[in-house]
Amino acid sequence: MESPMVKVHDKHFEPFIPENEIQIEVTRIAEEMNRDLANKDPIFLGILNGAFMFASDLYKQLAFPCQITFLKLASYSGTQSTGTVKQLIGINRELKDRVVVVLEDIVDTGVTLETIIRQLSGYQPAEIRVATFLHKPNATIKKVKLDYVGMEIPNDFILGYGLDYDGYGRNFKEIYRLVD
């Protein structure tokens, strides 16, 4: 039953979180949402690319009226010398006065999520909640409230279940960790 190591580009990864453990946590989050959000007509915002698989597995298990759409953070060079600015794109629905639930694959430093929350706030939603499948608490420097967390993990580089290394590995059903 033990899965073998995988090689992606030049790097080796070992099995870390098996498929059944992933699905247990996704189901737990879905059950929490089925209790919390049933009468709130929420709109789920999946953050591309990484969250597509978590979003899909979770959304199938929600048993109340709700919508989903997907957003992306696009990088463009700022006019100042400060480097890249990330803009949230793809918002094509009215978010004003809605309960929005951000779906993320992983919160590492928290910089990405903070950027997302700040930009979403401009649309004046009634409430913003965050669900992330993974959290690296020891790496998080931007403290953002996480309402639903699948698993907390150490500061290892991981891939699979939507997460990639240089674009590859998102298709793996289980999560792997970099072997150094």
Question: In angstroms, what is the minimal distance from the CB of 37 to ligand IMP?
Answer: 23
Q: What residue is closest to Mg ion based on CB?
A: 50
Decide: helix, strand or coil at residue 31.
helix
DSSP string, 88-107: EE---S--TT-EEEEEEEEE
Interaction of residue 50 with Mg ion, rule CB under 5 A: yes
**Positions in 100-159 near ligand IMP (CB under 6 A):** 105-113, 157-159
Among 66, 73, 18, 45, residue whose Cα is nearest residue 132:
45
* Residues in region 14-33 near ligand IMP by CB under 6 A: none
Residue whose CB is less far from ligand IMP, 100 or 163: 163
Residue 43: contacted member of ligand IMP, Mg ion, none (CB under 5 to 8 Å, by partner type): none
Residues 6+ apart with CB under 8 A from 3: 15, 18, 174
Write out the residues near ligand IMP by the rule CB under 6 A: 50, 105-113, 157-159, 163
